[in-house]
Amino acid sequence: MAVAALAASAEGSFSVSGRKILDAGGNEFMMRGVNYSWCWQRGHEYSVIPAAKRIGANIIRIQLGDGQQFYRPSASELEELIALCEQHRLVAMFNTHDETGSDNVDDLRRAAAFWIDMKDVLNRHLSTVIVNISNEWYGSWGNADAWADGYKTVIPMMRQAGLRNMLVVDCAGYGQWPRSMFLKGDEVARADELHNTVLSMHLYQDAAGTDRDVRSHIDNAQSLSVPVIIGEFAYRHKGCDVAWQTILDYSLEKRMGWLGWSWTGNGGGAEECDMFASYDDSQYLPNGTCIVKGRGGIAETSEECLVFSEPLPGPDGPDPEPIPGPDGWDVAGEHVLSPAGNPAGWNNVIEIPATVFASATRASMVRLHADCDGGAEIQLAVKTADESADWTQLNDYDRIDGPTYDLAVEDVPRLSEGMHPDTFLERAKARGLYVKGRGFRLNRVQLLNPRTDDLTGIASDIADDTEPAIIHDLQGRRVEHMQPGGIYIVRRGARVTKVVR
């Protein structure tokens, strides 16, 4: 029976194998991530999540609320958060934050009830979503039994209700009393009939004030039968130093996953925990520099979860096939958004990743494929040259009442204010494209260029075929054929012409 339960937990989801975390393909996954407090920073996910990918994170831990203290998301809002993480190839770990520091088991039951309410959404994303049941439930130190009993109560509730995602349990003492899990962690893990629970410790000054503390806790974690991660840490916390470099060094040596706290917006004396000065990655603060760029940090040790090496299936099957461009147009770049959809609202910005434009040498038109409600309006933008949080609007809000919306780059109103079409492509390549508006759900984005079938259709001055054409690309390499979206130098005898394909 135990073998059957283990197989059930591994099918299509993250799973536990001894002290290793495996992805849905059976590959070891070592977390290197960040924390983002969505429940009191809503609306910034369209900046933070893409930025987390840019700095190299492979997972993001997102704080939600169950409605007791913090904002409780709807099922559709949770689906949108997951879709955004999947779009940017990030594993999502969610927790509820309302119970932080509470010793009341009823509070923990409320958190479990929230996840049960959301089980249909969560079970659709077993390969990309992990559930951290509650942030730092059981704030007291010294009573491992009470901490364990709480989780031994709610984990069976969640499993019997049908929730199948990997679970994460924070240790007692606001996450800073690892001894609670050293004493009772295996008992907590055994309460999971799917054998798919991971333990977590938070390393600040109380648990990680010295190198010796860090090494001792990580060594003791190795004695447990299940994986342990570091769910939070920072280089300093409430005016106290943390042995952050030892956390990075020794966790790498022992292959332990971790997530830094936190992106931005900390208060109550924890301001030094901010990794960045705003909701993007344009200005590193000392904590971000340590965690991302430090020896053994995200930039050096993070590896993307291998579940993203293949297209993620939607709820109704695999991603849709490519759609050709309209008559007379070639598709130079394309991005298909999650089947869960990306609804746009006035306060939501959908980012189209720069990879869509990476290979293009020309951009003539952007086509958006969308499902529209009545009164839908749309606007496109690119980042400003200084890569700040601001952007340059490409067009005023425009009505969209059909399945597609086209914006010809040469007709962009803002070009009259000094923005050249090449500048649009440069910025889109550097930072991506941004879509704003209301009343539509974005499905696909295409970069289009006019189709040219032969040399005579490209330029009349090279139509004379009395001389053979010698074609070079802009790197000086001779080629036999010109590809859509390319720029070439064509020589016929003494005549040399620059051709935009």
Residues 153-166: pLDDT tens digits? 999 999 999 999 99
pLDDT for residue 463: 45
Residues with a known catalytic role: 136, 232
**The two structure tokens encoding residue 411:** 């007709």
Q: Which residue has the higher pLDDT, 179 or 355?
A: 179
Q: Which residue has the higher pLDDT, 391 or 416?
A: 391
**pTM (2 decimals)?**
0.68
**The two structure tokens encoding residue 298:** 């995200």
Q: Which residue has the higher pLDDT, 406 or 345?
A: 406
For 101-154, the pLDDT digits (tens) are 999 999 999 999 999 999 999 999 999 999 999 999 999 999 999 999 999 999
**The two structure tokens encoding residue 98:** 């309302």
Q: How confident is the model at residue 443 (pLDDT cuts 50, 70, 90)?
A: confident
pLDDT for residue 454: 40
Stretch 369-393: mean pLDDT? 72
| Distance of alpha carbon 404 from alpha carbon 329, whole angstroms | 15
For 251-302, the pLDDT digits (tens) are 999 999 999 999 999 999 999 999 999 999 999 999 999 999 999 999 999 9
pLDDT for residue 361: 72
| Distance of alpha carbon 310 from alpha carbon 463, whole angstroms | 44
Q: Would you tell me the crossing angle of helices 144-160 and 179-190 to the nearest 10 degrees?
A: 30
**How far out from the chain centre does Cα 195 lie?**
27
Q: Which residue has the tokens 């951290």?
A: 132
Q: Which residue has the higher pLDDT, 24 or 401?
A: 24
For 446-501, the pLDDT digits (tens) are 888 877 544 433 444 444 445 566 776 665 567 767 766 667 677 665 565 666 66
Element (H, E) at 115: helix 105-117
Q: Which residue has the higher pLDDT, 124 or 10?
A: 124
pLDDT for residue 316: 44
Element (H, E) at 331: strand 329-336
| Distance of alpha carbon 79 from alpha carbon 128, whole angstroms | 12
Give 358: exposed, middle or buried? Use CB within 10 Å, 0-12, 13-18, 19+: exposed
**How far out from the chain centre does Cα 183 lie?**
35
Give 341: exposed, middle or buried? Use CB within 10 Å, 0-12, 13-18, 19+: middle
Stretch 411-415: mean pLDDT? 56
Element (H, E) at 252: helix 244-253
pLDDT for residue 398: 85
pLDDT for residue 314: 46
3-state secondary structure 402-433: CCEEEEEHHHCHHHHHCCCHHHHHHHHHHHCE
Given a cut of 60, whether residue 326 has pLDDT beyond it is yes
**For residues 431 and 382, is the Cβ–Cβ distance under 8 A?**
yes
Neighbours of 212 (CB within 10 A): 11
